[in-house]
Chain A
Amino acid sequence: MTRRRSLWSVAIYVVLVAGAVFFLTPFVWMISTSLKTDAQVFAIPPEWVPAPVMWSNYWRLMTEIPFLRYLANTVFVTVTSVAFYVASSAVVAYGFSRIRWPGREVLFYCLLATMVLPPQVTLIPQFVMFQKLGWVGTFLPLIVPALTGSAFAVFLLRQFYSAIPNDISDSARIDGASEWQIFVRIVLPLAKPALATASLFIFIWTWTDFLNPLIYLTDDRLYTLAIGLQQLASTRAAAWPLLMAGSLLMSVPIILLFFFAQKTFIAGVSTAAVKG
Chain B
Amino acid sequence: MPSTSRPTRRPRRSRFAGAWLALLLLASAASAQTEITFWQAWGGSEGQAMQALVDEFNASQSEVRVRSSFVPIGDGERILASLAGGAPADLVTVWDWMVVPLGYGGALADLTADLSAAGVGQDDYLPGIWEYGTYQGAKYGVPTTINVYAFMWNKDVFAAAGLDPEAPPRTIAELDVLTEQLTTVDPRGNMRRLGFYPNVTAIYCYAFGGQLYDPTTLEVTLDHPGNVAAFEWLAAYYKKYDIAKIRRFQAGWGDMASPFNPFYRGQIAMQEGGQWEVAFTREYAPDLNWGVTTFPAPEGGRTDVTPVQSSFWVIPAQATHKAEATRFLLWLSAPEQSARFAAALANIPPRRDALAMPAFADTITPQMQTYIDMLLTGYVYTPPGLPVGLYLSDQLNQALAAVQDGTVSAREALETAQRNVQRELEKYR
Contacts and interface: CB of A to CB of B under 8 A. Distances in A.
Contacts of B43: 230-235
A123 B75 CA distance: 13
B57 interface: no
Contacts of B78: 214-215
Nearest to B81: A127
Interface stretch (B5-13, B66-74, B359-367, B384-392): B66-74
A211 B89 CA distance: 18
A218 B81 CA distance: 12
Given A218-B37, A235-B345, A128 B44 contact: no
A215 B69 contact: no
Candidate in B71, B85, B256, B260 with the most chain A CB atoms within 10 angstroms: B85
Interface in B131-152: none
B86 interface: yes
B258 interface: yes
B84 A124 contact: yes
B87 interface: yes
A237 B259 CA distance: 12
A218 B70 CA distance: 9
Nearest to B69: A220
A131 interface: yes
Given A128-B84, A234-B45, A234-B46, A214 B70 contact: no
A136 B85 contact: yes
A218 B316 CA distance: 15
Given A215-B77, A215-B78, A231-B70, A127 B84 contact: yes
Contacts of B260: 42, 44
Contact of A42 (B41, B284, B345): B284
A136 B87 contact: yes
A164 interface: no
11 contacts: A128-B86, A131-B86, A214-B74, A220-B70, A227-B70, A227-B72, A231-B47, A234-B43, A234-B345, A236-B280, A238-B257
The 3 closest A-B CB pairs, nearest first, are: A234-B44, A131-B85, A127-B81
Given A127-B81, A234-B46, A236-B256, 7 more contacts: A42-B284, A123-B77, A130-B85, A214-B74, A231-B44, A237-B257, A237-B283
